[in-house]
Amino acid sequence: MNSSVRRGVGGGPWTALATLVASAGTLMCCAMPAAFVALGGGAALVSLLGAFPQLIWLSEHKAGVFTFAALMLVASVWIQTAQRRAPCPADPRLRDACLRTRRFSGRVLMASTLLFLVGSWFAFVQPLLSA
């Protein structure tokens, strides 16, 4: 048995977490500022932008942020799909850990997709509806 079969395709929870971080970037650039303003927290948004001016850069480059997040989501879905049929170890303890990791990665992927969709709504759809 070669090592790629024993280890699976790759990724595991680290790929799912990287996707979550990329998707959270979409919230930082677009959804969070819109939510602050909608809830009457314009002053809080200005204070936040004063403390973290990098958020302005994310908003200015939202197309690149969303493209990167979409690529990470596609890669994560591809890896999750490829690992779905990969064998887990025969040892019951290791098998249970393998199955827990797969479930955790699936949940993180779903959360990442949800964050991406919310960010996409506020970045691209909501401005069109407001115009």
pLDDT tens for 55-66 read 888 888 889 988
Q: Is residue 71 part of a domain?
A: yes
- The predicted-structure confidence for 57-98, as pLDDT tens digits, reads as follows 888 888 998 898 899 889 888 888 888 888 989 999 999 998
Q: What whole-number distance in Å separates Cα of residue 52 and Cα of residue 59?
A: 12
pTM above 0.75, yes or no: no
Name the residue among 52, 112, 47, 51 with its Cα closest to residue 77.
Answer: 112
For residue 121, tell me if it sits in a domain. Answer: yes
For the chain, the domain total comes to: 1
Asked whether residue 72 is assigned to any structural domain, the reply reads yes
CB environment 4-34: b (16+ within 10 A), e (fewer): eeeebbebbeebbbbbbebbbbbbbbbbbbb
